[in-house]
Amino acid sequence: MRWLLISSIVFVGSAISLAKGPKFTDIKSAGIDYGIQGEYVGLLKTKQGAQKYGLQLIALGNHHFRVVGYRGGLPGAGWNGKGPAQVQADVELMAGRLVFEGDQRRGVLQDGRLLIDLGPDGTNDGELKRVVRQSPTLGKADPKAMVLFDGKDAAQFEGGRMTKDGLLMEGTRSQKKFQSHHLHIEFQLPFQPEDRGQGRGNSGIYVQGRYEVQMLDSFGLAGKHNECGGIYEVKDPDLNMCFPPLTWQTYDIAFTAAVFDEAGKLTHPARITVRHNGVLVHDNVELPRDRSTRAAPLKPGPQPGPIYLQNHGCPVRYRNIWVVETR
């Protein structure tokens, strides 16, 4: 399917005007575009029979959207990242509807339903319905874990700040320092429809205060090292598993600390495995021997290090943070 841009915007009966660069941290105040943005999935008729398709609709501010579609389903749920996305287009909201047109297909999104037809005869070719996915590790616990944050207080974090509804705020590090460990963290990215790139929901978790797993609203993007799930400046995630902003997401990280001999010489580099929203995106990746991530609190060395949550000027929120030390 190839979609083309429908020009001009006509939005009747509404005076919604978003300020430049707003940062929304709750769904109620996020506006109409947030209710349209999201993931859609369903079956479409093709010459080969019914096929599953997934679509991600990304809000860009002022009723503009980016569409990315996938033959086989959504990333991690039918589409495995092999080959390019099947649909990519920019569209606008028109009288409460988003309309996509291509050489042979036409799609209309209204009231949470994306209807596809074959053109002149108007035959319904299928329907994609809006879905809200949830990480299978959301709310996960481990009886052996050291709980760093459970919403009661931020005492386990240096200068830790909490929101009124009991969420940890960005820009803090754990009091406790760690060597090898398993880490679970849940995070929520803000909705910043008018921002782009690294200014859109940016934070990061620095494992051992040295190696950053990026947090960023990269919903619908290609999935690079500096996007959500990436090991910053080291490796792209195997699949972009970023959910839409304001959706709770999870990282489950297995970290093996670097080993140094008595003379301080590195004998075994650090390694990391990352699951993003339950999907393996890094499998036992060797981390750099001679450097930490740029802006990391600690340089490479044998000392244990904290869990550091970066403040990059965006209101990212965290909950259910725990660690199981493995060595």
Secondary structure (DSSP) of 247-294: SEEEEEEEEE--EE-TTS-EEE--EEEEEETTEEEEEEEEPPSS---T
Q: Is residue 298 a contact partner of residue 209, using CB atoms and an 8 Å limit?
A: yes
Q: Where are the domains of the chain?
A: 27-131, 146-325
DSSP label at 18? Answer: P
Domain 27-131 has CATH 1.10.10.10: no
The stretch 105-130 carries a mean pLDDT of 72
Domain 146-325, CATH class in plain words:
mainly beta
**236: helix, strand or coil:** coil
What pLDDT is attached to residue 12?
A: 24
Q: Name the token pair of 120.
A: 């002149």
Across the range 267-293, mean pLDDT stands at 96
Flag whether pLDDT at 268 surpasses 50.
Answer: yes
Residues facing 155 on adjacent strands: none
Lowest-pLDDT choice from 81-90, 126-135, 225-234, 316-325 = 81-90
In 3D space, the residue among 34, 37, 36, 78 whose CA is nearest the CA of residue 54 turns out to be 78
Q: How many residues does the chain have?
A: 327
In terms of pLDDT, which residue wins out, 48 or 158?
158
β-pair partners for 260:
266
Q: How many Cβ atoms from other residues are within 10 Å of residue 218's Cβ?
A: 26
